[in-house]
Amino acid sequence: MAYRRSIVSMKSETMNATTEPNGATTTSPEQAAQWLQQGKLLAYPTESVWGIGCDAYNQQAVEQILAIKNRPSEKGMIVVTDSIERIRPLLQQLPQSRQQQIIASWSTRASEENAAHTQQAHTWLLPLKTAEFSATTEADNEDTNTQDIGAHKANASKAHDPHQPGNEALVPYWITGKHDSIAVRVIAHPLIAQLCQQMVSSANPYGLVVSTSCNPSGDSPAKSFEQAYAYFGQDIAYLQGETLGYVLPSQISDASSGQVIR
């Protein structure tokens, strides 16, 4: 099948004989984080369905997911992280009222047995300052000096302490696509929150993991490990667990305007 050929042909060149084979499964977020840091793709449970993701700061891994999903890079990718505090620097330029709205949407947790039927995961498009990213690519601007492009690509993974004033970490352009914002969610799933926490490093200061629905283009998102494995088999790795049972799909909103996009 086309999606199988795409992912196999785009295996990361960084893999070596000591790396766990694809198709491996684990219940350990620590082990799963090691796989992501090696450039692997990972299927995992989210609030409502299974997702497929990678290290958001690994360009080649992100391109593999774009190929699987048949998704144009210009659209950008949703990413998840473990805590509000982790990405607070990305909220600072928003009005306090909007910050409070976003924080409240990420702080709600199921408190009743049937709450999953009314709960909804919230993804926000957070605006980025020029200092935090550049959306310019070769395709967007043919007049851009090639040395400048090379410098930008090198800087896209530059390490900062993002909590120091004036030291916001750069967000990779392969995550934002053509947009001047980043689509991010503080995930409610405790297992995936642990995974994101394990991903925090100088190379990934926000602990960002790509999160897109686990399915080939045109198919329904997987709702279980068995369905995820049926879709991708040995092509990827798996972090086993259950979804939180949310019935409603993730809501996407613009943090600048407050408008619901989806």
Reading the chain (262 residues) residue by residue, the pLDDT tens digits are 443 333 433 333 333 334 565 799 999 999 999 999 999 999 999 999 999 999 999 999 999 999 988 889 999 999 999 999 999 999 999 999 999 999 999 987 644 454 667 789 999 999 997 545 444 343 343 343 333 333 333 344 333 444 444 435 689 999 999 999 999 999 999 999 999 999 999 999 999 999 999 998 889 999 999 999 999 999 999 999 999 999 888 899 999 999 999 8
Whole-number Cα distances in Å, 124 to 17, 22, 24, 52, 254: 39, 32, 32, 19, 6
Specify the pairing of strand 122-127 against strand 251-254.
Answer: parallel
Please name which of 96, 72, 116, 69 lies closest in space to residue 221, comparing C-alpha atoms: 69
Domains, the chain, ordered by start:
53-108+168-243+251-261 (3.90.870.10)
Q: What is 72-86 written as a DSSP string?
A: -GGG--EEEES-TGG
Tokens 């409603």 correspond to: 248
